[in-house]
Amino acid sequence: MRVTNQSLLQGYLNNLNRNLTNMVKYQDQMASGKEIRRPSDDPFAVTRVMSLHTSINQNEQYLRNIEDSLGWVDMTDSALGNIGDIMNRLRELVIKGANGTQGDSELNAIKSEVEQLVGQIAQIGNTNYDGRYIFGGQDTINPPFDVDADNVLIYNGASGPGKEMLTREISQNVTIHINVPGTWITAGKDENRLTAALSETLSGIINALESGDGETLGGPLLGQLDDHIDNILSLRAEMGAKYNRLEAAKLKNEEETLNMTELLSKTEDVDIAEKAMEYAMMSAVYQASLAMGARILQPTLLDFLR
């Protein structure tokens, strides 16, 4: 096959352009810090990078859900603790009122304090977290508890199947209930319903103090109050277990995100030292190509003209 100056020139230009293209590739990689600039560079790696980015974004949303749930559960436990303290104070007052040695003025004073404690229970029951009422079920906008003119505790929050529970997704296909519905405070959970609602017990205490019925105070009403105290303790224990579960989920989420971030970095990030060396080598190759171009073309008649 005959090799002409034209074929030599064309081959030289092709090689020179290829070397220049490779040098530009290394320049882009070092400037961007990314191994892959476009899908055509490595379709398989691009697919993997996109999948990792999606998983990391999902984990970040799960982490936000977990952190919000932790705050919600912590606030719920604190509110239940305050309600428990009020219940214990009510128990002290009931025992004091049932003593039988209290006069009318003392019973009236106890009754006034009980009424104030009923209002305090309603106030704590209207605790909100980030502008949302924590005991109202899915109705987080309106205050769930109120006290009427007769000092009767009233629950106005959401109730019924599918309306009481608030759920958060903390991992893929993993959800958790984060709230305590107000009905659990007033009447207990479905599997452990109390014999008397909290509003009935509180109203009964006020009426018994007003009539001086110490026998009722020290008997059935005290027993009902003890049941409500146990119920609050049970709800707090459940909140504690949920808090521990959320803490474990948060730790697992952070570990998964770290592992995926490291894998993503290995897939798409460049090794600056390695790329600098490769760029230096390619630059030397390109300079050698330019030098070689001066030797490819044969001398022409113009070279001999003086």
CA separation (Å) from 149 to 118, 119, 154, 203, 298? 12, 11, 11, 12, 112
pLDDT of residue 253: 95
Q: What is the DSSP string of 159-195?
A: -STTTS--EEEEETTEEEE----HHHHHH--GGG--S
Token pair belonging to 7: 């074929």
How far apart are the C-alpha atoms of 125 and 141, rounded to whole Å? 13
Closest CA to 249 of 130, 169, 179: 169
pLDDT of residue 282: 72
| Burial group, residue 132, by CB count within 10 angstroms (0-12, 13-18, 19+) | middle
Residue 25: phi and psi, rounded to 5, are: -60, -45
- pLDDT tens digit string along 155-212? 999 888 788 999 999 999 999 999 999 999 999 887 678 889 999 999 999 998 888 8
How many residues comprise the chain? 306
Taking 50 as the pLDDT cut, the residues of the chain under it are: none
Token pair belonging to 244: 């521990």
pLDDT of residue 7: 72
Cα angle 120, 126, 129 (rounded to 5 degrees) comes to: 130
**CB proximity list for 164: less than 8 A, separation 6 or greater:** 137, 138, 158, 179, 181, 183
* pTM score, whole prediction: 0.78
CA separation (Å) from 66 to 129, 164, 169? 15, 20, 8
Token pair belonging to 131: 């502008």
Token pair belonging to 201: 């017990």
CB atoms within 10 A of CB 59: 20
CA separation (Å) from 33 to 7, 46, 78, 271? 39, 15, 48, 8
pLDDT of residue 194: 86
Tell me the CATH class for 81-234: mainly alpha
pLDDT of residue 159: 84
For strand 174-177 and strand 132-133, is the pairing parallel, antiparallel, or unpaired? unpaired
How far apart are the C-alpha atoms of 279 and 20, rounded to whole Å? 11
Look at residue 7 and give its three-state secondary structure. Answer: helix
How far apart are the C-alpha atoms of 222 and 201, rounded to whole Å? 9
For strand 145-147 and strand 167-171, is the pairing parallel, antiparallel, or unpaired? unpaired
pLDDT of residue 273: 66
Look at residue 232 and give its three-state secondary structure. Answer: helix
For strand 153-155 and strand 128-129, is the pairing parallel, antiparallel, or unpaired? unpaired
**CB proximity list for 260: less than 8 A, separation 6 or greater:** 52, 55, 56, 59
pLDDT over 90, % of the chain: 51
- pLDDT tens digit string along 76-97? 999 999 999 999 999 999 998 8
pLDDT of residue 246: 96
